[in-house]
Structure 1
């Protein structure tokens, strides 16, 4: 029995999501190679020196360096055609350098919304809106 396009898209998203919660950059990078188009277009407010799947790998390297116990909990997920939208709560402990801030040992909990567009069962485009204000405020980088 073959999977529908929507089922393939959900399965690719689930694999990536599960990988991100392992805390293993190696597993995340391997999964990105398997479910993300190498030339994925990544729209997110993060400074990067690279593009495509390499940019997504770089984002996860930075996140895990700063928050080795990072967890992403999907609160809502909606699908429409070739797109999947998820609203997440992200939690973690600031145990390493992040955005120029040395480790504080503080925990963070913030929200994000991502839209994934799929093509051929792989993630081809990503839009992200991350509550960086709350994240930085909780780390003490901005006044409360």
Structure 2
């Protein structure tokens, strides 16, 4: 795959990332419709019945309800071939129900790494590793 494709994939990733940090569920949903394949394969720690782009939309709806001020800071981006890898630091304040936990008002900071595989300029597959243990420990669901 050409350097041009890797550059284009990084630009699509940035568009997706900018939408996530908008804090606007409608902007996020519409951006997912444009940059993500409807039948995207989604491999991440998110227990749910939805699949494809609908699963991704559901994840962000849950996160925005739980952490209305959620912010994803990209620490590293590596693009090669049909993949873009990025490492994030996520921050937010727990102001809504999350994984069965009522709002605590606590701030959380956790890390994640994602790999997006692109096909035809759109996100076709997602692998994610999210530090859910750290997230839940900070919220008091797991003893320190």
TM-score range (shorter-chain normalised) is over 0.9
Shift of 1:11: 1.4
Q: Distance in 1 between matches of 2:75 and 2:46?
A: 23
Structure 2: 5+ residue runs without aligned partners? none
Shift of 1:4: 2.4
Matched, 1:18 2:18: yes
Q: Distance in 1 between matches of 2:133 and 2:81?
A: 32
RMSD: 1.0
Matched, 1:48 2:20: no
TM-score for the superposition, normalised by structure 1: 0.96
Structure 1: 5+ residue runs without aligned partners? none
Aligned ranges for residues 106-125 of structure 1 at < 5 Å? 106-125=106-125
Partner of 2:30: 30
Q: Distance in 1 between matches of 2:46 and 2:85?
A: 19
How many residues are paired up?
142
Residue 46 of structure 1 aligns to a residue whose secondary structure is coil
TM-score for the superposition, normalised by structure 2: 0.96
Shift of 1:47: 0.7
1:22-68 deviation line (CA, Å, top 9, x unaligned): 11010000000000001100000111111100000000001111000
Q: Distance in 1 between matches of 2:121 and 2:4?
A: 10
